[in-house]
Amino acid sequence: MYDFCKETMTGTSGIITGVCVAHDHATVDEITTAGAEKQCEDVRRLLRKSGVREAFALHTCNRTEAYVVTNDPEMGKNALRDIAPNVRDTAVRYLDHDQSLEHLLRVAAGLESMVVGEDQILGQVRDAYEEAQNAGGIGPMFEQAVTKAIHVGERARAETKINDGIVSVGSAAAKFASEEVKLTEATATVVGAGDMAELTAKALEVRGISELKLTNRTPERAEDLARHLEVSCNIIPLSAITSHLPETDIVITSTASSEPLLTDTEFADAGQTIVIDIAQPRDVKPSVDKYEHVTVYDLDALESVTEATQEQRQAAANKVETIVDDELDQLLEQFKRKRADQVIQAMYEGAEEIKEEELQNAIQQAETAGELTDDQKQALEAMADALMNRLLAAPTKSLRDAAAEDDWNTIHTAIELFNPNWDGNNPPQGHKSMSRGHHSGTNASSAEFPHGQHPPSKQGD
């Protein structure tokens, strides 16, 4: 039966498999090690793998994830093995079809973020979707899955207070800094000028930072960021940062550099300095922490800062969980209906061929006694159509119920009875979809397929 079910996943459907290296079970270095330098590179690389029809990747400070659409889960898992080849096994999670869909919805909703409900992740999912689309990775399945995730993220923030309080890693870094240094009497330098740097700078501004310096490899971007702030900013060249560090109390780094920008050399003569590195990969070499006058924190250290916010948002998170569950049920049901429609179309195609053959035989036999009029032929055709539709009405309902209940024995038997020659690869396109029922989704099984072979229902769309 499993081979049959894999066949029915071909064509316009498929099975989603995912891999995740994230902050809740991996270190910053492990997240950095996973995946290509850019998420679009992962998409292109995965599309070159045998059997991969669609691909999607998401890289953030807290996670490196990739997903593929294939004909069976083992093929998908094999395609994803190169994403984290050098990461310890316990830090890598493989997700089956239902788990992948649920995880994408939870990520966009902010439930999987280090700071629960943070807003930046939703924009990152949108950006990843556009990059995957430009790389040719978005097909019918990810079009439906990722846009559903974005919709869920929007609902979560519009209908609950999950993003109240600290809403980003940048604001968490600012709060962390405020617990280490009195900001109203401190000077902070923000390294970087991207979205995270902007969130950090604004969070420092809100918390009353006395003096703010901005530096970036491209000075124009730092100047543009300064225009979005009300606090007075001093723009300094990145090449001159060493001379400014002795008068800096806090350094928060957030760039997209693939190599550390700040090393032991820059901090050798710095004064007492708190360094918070929220970049991924790291902007600051860990060895900088050897100096007694410098204390370096990274993303892992922010966990303690976010605990209070997570407690405050728990009630909202519970509401978001309900939104995710409802939307996941709808998404799984939509995929199931597609699957049922594909099988039903095959059944109708087989019946249509038989009907047409017998109709022509009946017309030929009737015309031996004289030529039939157009009205008489139409009457015979109408009768044949009515008979076929009435005979298939009950099997159609049974097939929809079977798909909703994951009853593949019934579906397999129906295919053999009504269209034994169909190979599952080219479902007919002419037959219109039947009316659709409703059934809530299935429970996702555990990660990394630890319990052996999964039933096809947990892996199909």
Q: Rank 64-78, 110-124, 377-391 by mean pLDDT and report only the highest.
A: 64-78
Higher pLDDT residue, 460 or 155?
Answer: 155
> And the tokens for 356?
């047409």
What is the C-alpha separation between 189 and 182, in angstroms, rounded? 15
Contact residues for 417 (Cβ-Cβ < 8 A; gap 6+): none
Question: 56-59, long-range: CB within 8 Å, 24+ apart, which pairs?
Answer: 56/128, 56/129, 56/132, 56/137, 56/138, 56/142, 56/146, 57/128, 57/131, 57/132, 57/137, 58/107, 58/124, 58/125, 58/128, 59/35, 59/128
Q: Any idea what DSSP says for residue 30?
A: H
Are the C-beta atoms of residues 17 and 70 closer than 8 Å to each other?
yes
Answer whether the bond into residue 281 is a cis peptide, omega within 30°.
Answer: yes
The reply to whether 61 belongs to the active site is yes
Tens-place pLDDT, residues 96-124: 999 999 999 999 999 999 888 888 899 99
426 pLDDT higher than 50: no
Between the alpha carbon of residue 289 and those of residues 171, 266, 294, the distances in Å are 23, 12, 6
Burial of 359 (0-12, 13-18, 19+ CB in 10 A): middle
Tens-place pLDDT, residues 122-149: 999 999 999 999 999 999 999 999 999 9
Q: Any idea what DSSP says for residue 262?
A: B
Mapped to the 3 state alphabet, what secondary structure does 282-316 carry?
A: CCECHHHHHCCCEEEECHHHHHHHHHHHHHHCHHH
What is the C-alpha separation between 274 and 281, in angstroms, rounded? 19
Higher pLDDT residue, 350 or 193?
Answer: 193
Which position among 20, 40, 61, 233 bears the catalytic label? 61
Indicate whether this model's pTM tops 0.95. Answer: no
